[in-house]
Structure 1
Amino acid sequence: MPRKFIKRFLPDHQTIKKQRALRMFGTILHEPNLWHLNRRSASGALGIGLFFAFWPVPFQMWLSAAAAIPFRVNLPLSVATVWITNPFTIPPIFYGAYKIGTTVLGSDPKHFEFQFSWQWVVESLSTIGPAFLVGCAICSVVGGLAGYFGLNWLWRFSVRKSWEKRRLARQQKKEEC
């Protein structure tokens, strides 16, 4: 079930290979393991994608693709997962990371107004930066591990249920004969 569900949303690997932004990886993209979808590659890709999704840097997709290649996990899933942080979800996710950072560091939360600009990020590094970066690091590691182990468990659970369903169907068929 997870395989069919994930495949429904992923683009064709030929389409991705033709993207100009990914040409910097060259012939490495012809590695079949980067496009194969199995439990190991899917859970690894989700873990890598979630890990980089919480990084407050531009070009998260390139970082995710660059990490997916040496780990030989599904490249499209890894890159697509990064998009959980998009222009609509960045403010609440990064505010939550800031709150986690202030809690971990034991500092008082400071009042600020989020602005979607690189200049605001650079200027606020001295005031809210340490708590924000610590929170992003924690969310990154926890999100990556939760994605990896969560999808791994879901995949195994789905396969186990499928096997059980087939076993019961065979057993029922024998009883009818």
Structure 2
Amino acid sequence: MPRRLLQRYMPHPETLQRNRSLRFMSHLIGNATLWMLTRRSVGNAFMVGLFCALLPMPFQMVVAAAGAWLLRCNLPLSVGLVWLTNPLTMPLIFYGNYRLGAWLLNTPARPAPDQFSTHWIAAKMAEILPPLLLGSLVAAVVTGVVANVAIRLIWRWHVARSWRRRQRRRRRARTAHAGRPPSA
């Protein structure tokens, strides 16, 4: 089942509760419903995590944790998926979001500068911000919803496949057992 695969890579709540820097969140970390691995909780965790990852805002992990708490979905998955936008991928993803927003607003997209600098960003912020925010919001909503539906479908397919395999094994065991001579 997908549950076993996910459990292999998830941290244990007890380990996180013992961490000194996370003690202030021990009541949240200790909530068992936020650690469950069900089709619904994993699908919603992907939705929350990817939604927060694609928004250009500070404290994405805190927002993802709050979203996991509100939707009662898997906390470590939703917070971990925020790291899709890390310092290496962030410029590319947010530039793509900006291009999407410029296309939706039907405005010409500014070409990326040869070298990004805080001075260039500050000077162009008024032009960049509306397309970036719209593109990020659209990309976040679409990616979150598609991920939620895809995870639920994959989970369902995996469970159905496991059921079919078990049925075949049972049928084979019955036919093998029926072919034996009775024991005295």
TM-score norm. by structure 1 comes to 0.89
Q: Which residue of structure 1 lines up, in the alignment, with residue 60 of structure 2? A: 60
- AA aligned opposite 1:80: G
Within 5 Å, give how 1:50-89 maps onto structure 2. Answer: 50-89=50-89
CA distance in 2, matches of 1:9, 1:31: 19
Task: Please give the alpha-carbon distance, in whole angstroms, between the structure 2 residues aligned to 1:120 and 1:61.
Answer: 27
Alpha-carbon distance in 1 for matches of 2:41, 2:71: 9
Q: Is the 8 A contact 2:17 2:26 kept in 1?
A: no
Residue 9 in structure 1 maps to residue 9 in structure 2: yes
1:39-118 correspondence to structure 2 within 5 Å: 39-113=39-113, 115=116
Tell me which stretches of 4 or more aligned residues in structure 1 moved more than 6 Å: none
Q: CA deviation at 1:102?
A: 1.4
Aligned length, in residue pairs: 176
Change in 2 beyond 3 A, CA 1:10/1:105: same
Please state how far the C-alpha of 1:27 moved relative to its aligned partner.
2.1
CA-based RMSD of the aligned residues comes to: 2.0
Measured after TM superposition, the shift of residue 24 of structure 1 is 4.4
Q: CA 1:22–1:34 in structure 2 vs 1: closer, same or farther (change >3 Å)?
A: same
Per the alignment, in what secondary structure is the counterpart of residue 125 of structure 1? Answer: helix
Name the larger-Rg structure: 2
Give, as a single letter, the amino acid of the residue that structure 2 aligns with 1:115.
Answer: F
Query: Aligned pair in 2 of structure 1 residues 20, 82: CA closer, same or farther (>3 Å)?
Result: farther
Deviation readout 1:44-97 (Å, 9 max, x if unpaired): 111100110011112100100011112111111110011111111112211111
State percent identity of aligned pairs. 36
Question: Match of 2:139?
Answer: 139
Pairing 1:173–2:173 present: yes
Describe the SS at the equivalent of 2:93. Answer: helix
Give me the whole-angstrom Cα distance separating, in 2, the residues matched to 1:171 and 1:20. Answer: 53
TM-score normalized by the length of structure 2: 0.86
Runs of 5+ in structure 2 lacking a partner?
178-184
